[in-house]
Amino acid sequence: MLTVATLLWEPNDASQPFSRCYDESWVTRLYAGFARNLTVPWRFVLFTDRDRPLPDTIKQERLRSPKPDYSTCIEPYRFGVPMILVGLDTIVTGNIDHLAAHCFTADKIALPRDPYALHQACNGVALVPAGFQGVYRNHRGENDMVWMRQQPHVFSDDLFPGHVVSYKGTVRDKGLGDARIVYFHGESKAHQLPDVPWIREHWR
């Protein structure tokens, strides 16, 4: 079974202004996007600092970090299972069974190219095969982006061109195209773009 994982914690002094907007509504919208676009067996797991008022279809896993920060985004790797790991600022816009298949059949994590430095990865969306719990076990608190760039990986842009894309790096100026997952980073977020038709259609 595929695990789809994301994280939510109360903002603290380690939180940047652009990540203080999240609440349970972001979790349910994200869950609904995956539910509309996955046909393989899957479960949704929220890594969180406390119990949240959410449907039973969303499993809640307590974070181990006493004071979460961005390095906490490595925690879902401790499961060691086939996983798609995304931030709450992610919108699923089309069928992603083929992305799930990577998690079941590949031997390396797939990460997007950094839209501002194409020679290196970002971790907006991670397609993770089984057996990568060492990413968590060997982690010593490094920034999640820095740490993931050090892991063996391939680029989802090369495997699935145009299917896992940055809003600011691609969609904002070039349109949605055949994108299946759009990830946001920094400013702006989906709730600040209510008049964009594809966001209205898919972020609900």
Which residue numbers in the chain have pLDDT < 70?
A: 14
For residue 74, the 8-state DSSP code is: G
Q: What is the pTM of this model?
A: 0.96
Nearest residue to 203 via CA among 173, 159, 167: 167
pLDDT number for residue 66: 87
pLDDT number for residue 52: 97
pLDDT number for residue 16: 74
pLDDT number for residue 126: 98
Distances in Å between the alpha carbon of 4 and those of 18, 29, 42, 134, 137?
Answer: 23, 13, 7, 19, 20
97 contacts 54 by C-beta, under 8 angstroms? no
Token couple for 88 = 């709450």
Percent of the chain with pLDDT over 90: 90
